[in-house]
Structures are given as structure tokens and as C-alpha cells.
Amino acid sequence: MPIFIDRRLNPKDKSLGNRQRFLRRAREELKRSIRDKVRTGSIAELDREHAVPIPRKGTGEPTFGDDRESGRRHHILPGNRTFSSGDIIPKPGGGRGGGGYGSGSGTAASEDDFRFVLSREEVLDLFFEDLELPDLVKLNLKQVLSVKPRRAGFTSGGAPTNINVGRTMRNSHGRRIALRRPKQAELDAIAHQIAELEAQPASAPARERIAALREALDRLERRRKRIAYVDPVDIRFNRFDPQPLPNANAVMFCLMDVSGSMGEREKDLAKRFFVLLHLFLTRRYERIDIVFIRHTHLAKEVDEHTFFYRTESGGTVVSTALEEMHRIIEQRYPVSEWNIYAAQASDGDNFAGDSERCIELLDRKLMRLCQYFAYVEIIDERESHIFGATENGTSLWRAYNAIDGKWPNFQMRRIAAPADIYPVFRQLFARQPGLRKSA
């Protein structure tokens, strides 16, 4: 007699601990993958689920194994129909190893396909980890800043304060009609009849009539009791949906100098800054547009790929970008409907005398239109300790200093390494009570 044991009710996640250990192990790989995503993927893409391929490197388990491309071996195979001994068969793939026929060669390839699906939150966690966020702030960024309840129809459950009386009574009325609940008037009429009959001198037919009427009255009353006036099934509640606030549109202008001096490192830093800005804005606004403007001595609106991946040579005239931005605002983004944000990334070089023109453009036109204008100067890591705190710097930096003093919604900072980005971003977008769009 065998022993039978029903294990189905045992805890199922026996390998949970192993999975956690694996995730911990793969974390470096996942982070690298997210880093590559930031570098190569589009800005908006970061903010969603990702299937991340896990390379075997780092999670591989090496053992001593034979090199498939060395030595002499014999394969035994079933199903020969055509060969006789001494036949020569060319190797598949032009003479490389016996992989095609050999045993077990499939496993190596399939492990490469191993993909891991990360949730949006996990992606952001990994992204922010690279930026060295203090935990408190990470939470803030993730949350929708504030919500306002919005009416969204009716529901059959909810708090008593949300009962919608009109809708409830309409349901109750319909039900009363359908179930033919006796009306008070009917009862009153019968009671009245009984009273009248009783007032008259008693006779045999009258007594019978009274008894019949009483019985009818009794039946109606019982029926009324059974069919409630307002039944729990009638009750409807107002339904509210949380709605993010402020509920409006925003446009984000990304301005970048793409002349030869902006190398891969500079663009990577700029991109990280823009990604962060985009994440921040998508949390606050229902709809967000991104406009990419790049410039050398000419400025042009381009798509994201061109913006980040093409360099051009030529002089640097920053004001052209500001002019282009102004033109686009006039054309497409009326200030009454759009919140306008701008972020400018540059290494600070500018055509002699053009910085004056920039100041003028910003001061006269753009700063009035913008909710916020951030200027990020990307400097060499070696320069960071020199320029870190001083007012000295490139011509653009010195010129912008004037704007910085005058307009509270203008901010400027310097960035030298990925780890600088978040603190700078935080300074730029910290809640500043006095900050409002100047009319």
C-alpha cells in the first residue's frame, strides 16, 4: 500500500528565494541595459515596461567544456537513407564544427533569448539608481503631484455621503411599478370604505363585505411590507475618478548645440537631463509635446533621432535656436493653452557678440512666454572643480547670468557627470513659492 500525500496545498513559491537571489545578481546587467536604453532609445520610451534581454555573461555558469572547433570525434546518427561508407558530406556553415548535427547544441542559443520583463516602476528605479537619487525624492517624482476627484457616472457601492438621491429614487420608483407595490391611496380607499360600512347599521351582507375588505386590506399591507419603498438594490452612489492636476497641456522645448564640440559624452548627459525633464512633466500634465531644436549657426526643428545622433560642423550661434523656438511658439503653441518649458543644453561656446542677442531675445520675448527656462551647461569633468561655484565661465554663461538675476523662472547650472544631473535637476525644479509666470 503506497502512501499518498496531497501536496497541492503546500506553499507554491518554494523558489521565491532563488528568484530573488537571481534578480539581485542580474541587477548590474539590468542597470546596464537601462543605461543603454537611455542612450539609444527615445526619451518617452523609458517610461514604460521593458523586456530586458539578460545576456549570459554575468549570469552564466562556466564549466570546463570541449571546444567544438577542435579535435576528432565521431557522431552516431539515426535515419540514414542515402549514405554508404566513405561518402563525404560538406559541413554546414562552411566547415565550422559539428554543431549542426552534434547533440545539445541548442541550449546555448536559447539561453540568449532569456528575456526579463521589468515593470515601469522597476525601470525607473534602475534609471534613478544611476542618478543617485535620495530616496525621498524618488518617491515624490513617482507620484502624481496632486489629484482632484472628477465625477464619473454612478456606482452601486460607496460611501453614504455619495448617495445620488435622484438616481436612487428613480430606480426605486421603477421597481415599485414593476412589482406592483400597493399605493397608500388604495389602502386609504379601502380603509375609508370599511369605515363607511361600519358607520352604517350592521347587517349580514355588510358584515361579510367588511370582512372581505379587511382581508383585502391586510393582504395589501403585507405586500407593502414585503416590497420596500427604497430597497438596497436601488441605491446608486456618485462615482469619482481621481484626476491628475494640473490638468493641462505642456510643451517642452529641447534646445541643443550640435556643433562639433558636443561629443557623445555631452549628448549623453544632455539626454539624461531631457529624460528626467520629460518624466517630471509627464507626471504633471495630461498631454506633453516635445519639440527638438538643434543649432549650429543655423537652427532647425528636428526629430529626436536627428537631435541626439547627428553632429554637424559649423559655427555656433545660440540665438538662432531661441529665434526658432519663438517662431514655433507663435505658430503652434498659444500661451493661453500651453505651459511652455524649455531646457537648453550647451557647452557654452558661442559666436562672439551673439550672447548679447540671446539676452535680448530672452528678456524681451521668451521669458514672458515660458513657464520655466533651464540652462544646463555641460562641462568637462576636469573643469568641474574650477567652475563648480564661480561666476566665471564661457561667454554664454556670463551673459545668462544677467537673465538669471532678473527672471525668477530662469535657472542655470553646470553638469560634469551623470551623478550631477539629478541634484542639479532637483535644484532647478525645486518648489519655489514665488515662482510664477510673469504676465
Partner 1 sequence: MVSEACTSELLFSGSDWNFAKLSRVYEEIEALGLEELGLDIYPVQMEVISSEQMLDAYSSLGMPLMYRHWSFGKRFLYDELLYRKGARGLAYEMVINSNPCIVYLMEENTMALQALVTAHAALGHNHFFKNNHLFRQWTDAGGILSYLDFAKSYIARCEERHGLTPVEAILDSAHALMEQGVFRYRRPPKLSSEQQREGLHERLEYEERSFNDLWRTLPPSPGKSKQDATDQILAERKKSLKLPEENLLYFLEKNSLVLEPWQREIIRIVRIIAQYFYPQRQTQVMNEGCATFVHYTLMNTLFDRCRISEGAMLEMLRNHTNVIFQPAYDDPCYSGINPYALGLDMMQDIRRISTAPTAEDRDWFPDIAGRGDWRDTLLDAWANHRDESFVRQYLSPALIRKWRLFMLADNADEPHYEVASIHNERGYAKIRSALAQRYDVGASRPDIQVIDVDLLGDRRLRLQHTVKNGLMLEGGSRDATLRHIRNLWGYEVSMVAVDAETGAMLGERSTKEV
List interacting residues with partner 1 (CB under 8 A).
Answer: 1-8, 10, 12-15, 17-25, 59-81, 83-91, 94-95, 97-98, 101, 103-104, 106, 111, 114-116
Least CB distance to partner 1 at residue 76 (A): 5
**Across-strand partners of 163?**
237
Least CB distance to partner 1 at residue 13 (A): 8
Least CB distance to partner 1 at residue 135 (A): 22
CB of 425 within 8 A of CB of 276?
yes
* 109: phi then psi, degrees, rounded to nearest 5: -65, -40
Nearer to partner 1 by Cβ, of 3 and 199: the residue is: 3
Nearer to partner 1 by Cβ, of 64 and 135: the residue is: 64
Least CB distance to partner 1 at residue 318 (A): 50
List Cβ neighbours of 211 (8 Å cut-off, separation of 6 or more).
none
**Amino acid code (one letter) for 381:** E
Long-range contact set of residues 85-92: C-beta below 8 Å, sequence gap at least 24:
none
Nearer to partner 1 by Cβ, of 7 and 225: the residue is: 7
CB of 241 within 8 A of CB of 152?
yes
* 242: phi then psi, degrees, rounded to nearest 5: -70, 135
Least CB distance to partner 1 at residue 51 (A): 11
Nearer to partner 1 by Cβ, of 90 and 434: the residue is: 90
Least CB distance to partner 1 at residue 12 (A): 5
- Going from the C-alpha of 220 to that of each of 174, 176, 186, 188, 357, the distances in angstroms are 19, 14, 9, 11, 91
CB of 424 within 8 A of CB of 413?
yes
- Measured CA angle at 182 (ends 231, 217), to 5 deg: 125
Nearer to partner 1 by Cβ, of 79 and 201: the residue is: 79
Least CB distance to partner 1 at residue 393 (A): 45
DSSP state of 371: S
Least CB distance to partner 1 at residue 117 (A): 10
Nearer to partner 1 by Cβ, of 4 and 200: the residue is: 4
**Across-strand partners of 377?**
346, 414
Nearer to partner 1 by Cβ, of 97 and 423: the residue is: 97
Nearer to partner 1 by Cβ, of 88 and 177: the residue is: 88
Least CB distance to partner 1 at residue 23 (A): 8
CB of 434 within 8 A of CB of 397?
no
Interatomic CA distance for residues 373 and 363, integer angstroms: 12
Query: Which H or E run contains 58?
Result: none
Nearer to partner 1 by Cβ, of 94 and 157: the residue is: 94
Interatomic CA distance for residues 252 and 404, integer angstroms: 20
Q: Spell out where 187-329 has E strands.
A: 237-245, 249-257, 287-295, 299-302
CB of 353 within 8 A of CB of 244?
no
Torsion of CA 294, 295, 300, 302, to 10 degrees: -20
- Going from the C-alpha of 199 to that of each of 84, 203, 204, 211, the distances in angstroms are 124, 11, 14, 15
Nearer to partner 1 by Cβ, of 79 and 205: the residue is: 79
Least CB distance to partner 1 at residue 41 (A): 23
**Across-strand partners of 149?**
242
Least CB distance to partner 1 at residue 32 (A): 17
Query: Alpha-carbon torsion 366, 370, 372, 375, what sign?
Result: negative
Nearer to partner 1 by Cβ, of 10 and 392: the residue is: 10
